[in-house]
Structure 1
Amino acid sequence: MKRKYIIPACALVALLLSNAVSAEELIRIGSPYVTTTLDPIRSASAGNIEAFGQLYARLLRRDPSGQRQPGLAEKWTISKDGLELTFTLRAAKFSNGVPITGDDVVFSLTRAMSDKKSVYSATLAAVERVTAEGGNIVKVKLKYRFAPALDNLEVFNTGIVSKTDVETRGDKAFTDKPVSSGPYVVREWRPNDRLILEPNTNYWRGGYPKNSGAEFIEVANPNTRVSMLMSGELDAVRDVPCAQLENVGARDTLRDALEPSTIIYMTLLNERRPPFNNVKIRQAAAHALNVSAITKAMTEGHGTPANTTLPDALDYHAKDLPVVAYDPKLARMLLTDGGYDGKELTIPILPCVGRSAALAARTVSIPTMTILRSMS
């Protein structure tokens, strides 16, 4: 029996795959995320990040449990002062059969750090320089001690590209059959439609990938994605609406693979302008919202209330920090102590978070405090 898996679009990530897809088959994945570039430094959007991960290997990688593992670097050391990371590269090749060297790593990381087209250089802000010694030694010098330094070398934009190919072909190196260091290569890319990948026969991890390729098909409408899955047009879908999870997951042929997500919804207040330049008014706003109820309603019980602006799927998240308590009585007292004048406030929000705003507005027990309105 063909079994499929789902990935929901709530405060979790999930995927619907077919249990009957064999190692010889190409996996068809329906996704709302579009692929607009294959250059790992040019975008931080979900569809592109997904492609980068398949095409470009990094010095380090994450195993299925989320633990850091050797990638292109088979080992590494950290200096006693914590300011220098030394990586020893394994014997690996690009998809064109050319060995991956320290020069390729230096070139790739330097592009991510300082190229004008790099959109996410912040993860490497602590890096002073990257140098290569011989063919397989890479040294990363830090400006200061930085706890996430190793983890940030596993971020999508640190994928290793071919220095020779990029310098020779320029932008065309990322539009016409990019040279890959990851498990797959591009078989065909049809912008605004699909990205078709096939195995990189020179990939360094023996036995990987375990299928004949993947086809990322852009399907914006979530109901259409689910329908295509049901009809057998897709083997997997991303972002199933939380409201559909129970019905879809009840089918014997389907399985939802829930994973922790880095998605988090928040309302950011301008602390430089009245009334939110007063800490008591900010605290009142926090205590006036029933975050637990909003979370349950939005995610059909699949999500968890956020306790910080750092999602709990990330390393270094303070899991023991309590969620701000829903306490209307305390909120009113804080408003009085903070000298709030009772005027109605309007907080503009984007349409994409309109549902959360509506739920928030219904749970605010202080009608004179906050009104959330959607921007068209």
Structure 2
Amino acid sequence: MPLPLYLLALAVFAMGTSEFMLAGLIPDIASDLGVSVGTAGLLTSAFAVGMVVGAPLVAALSRNRPGRAGLVGFVVLFAAAHVVGAVTANFAVLVATRIVAALANAGFLALALTTATALVPPDKKGRALAVLLSGTTVATIAGVPGGSVLGALLGWRATFWAVAALCVPAAVGILAGIPRRPVRDDRPGAPALRSELAQLGNPGLLLVMLLGATVNAATFASFTFLAPVVTETAGLGDLWISVALVLFGTGSFVGVTVAGRLSDRRPGLVVAGGGPLLLIGWLALAVVAEHPGALLVLVFAQGALSFALGGTLIARVLYAAPGAPTMAGSYATSALNIGATAGPLIAATTLDTRAGDLGPLVSSALLVAMALLIALPFRGRAGLVR
């Protein structure tokens, strides 16, 4: 894989740290700003809503502009949103900064996906996507747990300052290493925007977007509310939240790396093998969450399976939209974040039920089951037969 892909992954690392770090900060933010844990969890959904809306909008506006300038601009905007978030004492303002940061993240990721696929041969899209997603998974291994520890020691605002600081080397790396235009972007000209948007009428594309969104909803449903499971259900201390996040992140890195080598050639194998295991894992986690050892082992396993399955499905979005070379990245980004929006919202409704802190885990299991029930009869149309 070419070096510029890893420079893009560095920026994805900074943005992924921000997107996922709230999983370890929700209780502190809720306490500091005087809102409930469920309400604070909506910060994750606010970020995801900005990603859903921003990805196609920003991709359409920047499709004919040099990629490097747009990428750097989005990183700078992302950093500025975190500076404002770090100093505000108003929950509504914090929500607004999450939306602005999400718009910047969405624009960056849409451009980065388009750039990545132009940097590699057409049959390596899955591996290119795996490199980009590795930035996110490394964020869950190092950035997010580090932010959780920083938040526990210095307060949640310190993590916002840290994310803003991470954006500086990311921007410098992009300026230094990314060409003005992708080196393999030798298309005579991108199709008209109307033609690219018309790809959304393709049933196969819509199906694989739905599957990717549903699996990602399952991931975010539990990941957003993992901290209460660790501290309340399992009875562990606050610093064990960071341990759980490291394990989830390590598993996600393993999953996306392994699946990245299979998603181009054998996507059906990943879905058929990983899907049922992911479903069983969420159910098992809900049953044994009171036992710290079993909880931590399953957190690792669920991280691996979630990202293996989700990453494979999102890679299929890029394959299913060959007629949208500048917009396909935004379709993949929107699918990811429709799931990230819906997952925490669904999970939040279960917190006040008899299931309590385990409600999000049950929600994740039901979402994966729904995805499998949809994928099974339509796997050929979704490109999942191999």
Q: Which TM-score band (shorter chain)?
A: under 0.3
Q: TM-score, normalised by structure 2?
A: 0.23
Higher radius of gyration, 1 or 2: 1
Higher RCO structure, 1 or 2 (CA under 8 Å, sep 6+): 2
More helix by share: 2
Q: TM-score, normalised by structure 1?
A: 0.24
More strand by share: 1
